[in-house]
Chains A and B, each alone.
Chain A
Amino acid sequence: MKKDTNYLQSNGYIQEKDKKLLDSFLLQVANIPGGESLRKCIQCGTCTGSCPVSYTMDITPREIIALFRAGDMESILASRTIWICASCYACTVRCPQGVQVTDLLYALKRLAIENNIFPKKFPVFALSQSFVNLTNRYGRSYEPGLILSYYLRTKPWQLLTLFPLFIKLLTRGRISLLPKKIKNTANFSKILNEAEIMEMIIPVRES
Chain B
Amino acid sequence: MDYVYYPGCSLETSGKAYDESVRFVFSQLGHRLLEIEDWNCCGATYYMATRETISLVISARNLALAEKLGQNLIAPCSSCYTILYKTNKILQSNPIMKAKVDQSLRRDKLSYNLSLKIRHPLEVLVTDIGLHAIQEKQTFSLRGLKVAPYYGCQIVRPDRGLDDKEDPQMMDKLLASLGAEVVPFAAKVRCCGGMLMTTFPEVALKLNREILETALRNKAEVIVTTCPLCQINLEAYQDKINKKFNTHFHLPILYFSQLVGLALGASPQQIGLHRQLIPFNFEAKLQEGLR
Contacts and interface: CB of A to CB of B under 8 A. Distances in A.
Interface residues of A, number: 61
A1 interface: yes
A203 B49 contact: no
Interface stretch (A4-12, A64-72, A125-133): A125-133
B47 A86 contact: no
B52 interface: yes
B41 A31 contact: no
Interface string B176-213: 00000000000001110111101110010001000000
A141 B198 contact: no
B9 A141 contact: yes
A182 interface: yes
B40 A175 contact: no
A52 B12 contact: no
Contact of B104 (A90, A131, A172, A195): A195
A53 B190 CA distance: 11
Nearest to A190: B107
Nearest 3 A/B pairs, CB to CB? A89-B157, A88-B191, A141-B9
B124 interface: no
A128 B55 CA distance: 12
B154 A89 contact: yes
Contacts of A193: 107
B52 A31 contact: yes
B42 to A, nearest CB: 9
Contact of B44 (A88, A124, A131, A150): A131
Interface string A19-33: 000000000100101
Nearest to A122: B199
B255 to A, nearest CB: 13
Interface of A: 1, 28, 31, 33, 52-53, 56, 83-84, 86-90, 92-93, 100, 102, 106, 109-110, 113, 123-124, 127-128, 131-132, 135, 139-143, 147, 150, 165, 168-169, 172-176, 180, 182-184, 187-188, 190-196, 198-199, 201, 203
Given A93-B156, A132-B50, 5 more contacts: A93-B159, A110-B51, A131-B44, A199-B51, A203-B96
B274 A52 contact: no
A198 B103 contact: yes
Contact of B14 (A53, A109, A174): A174
B89 interface: yes
A194 B104 contact: yes
Best-surrounded residue of A168, A182, A184, A198 (most CB of chain B within 10 A): A198
Contact of B195 (A86, A90, A93, A139): A86
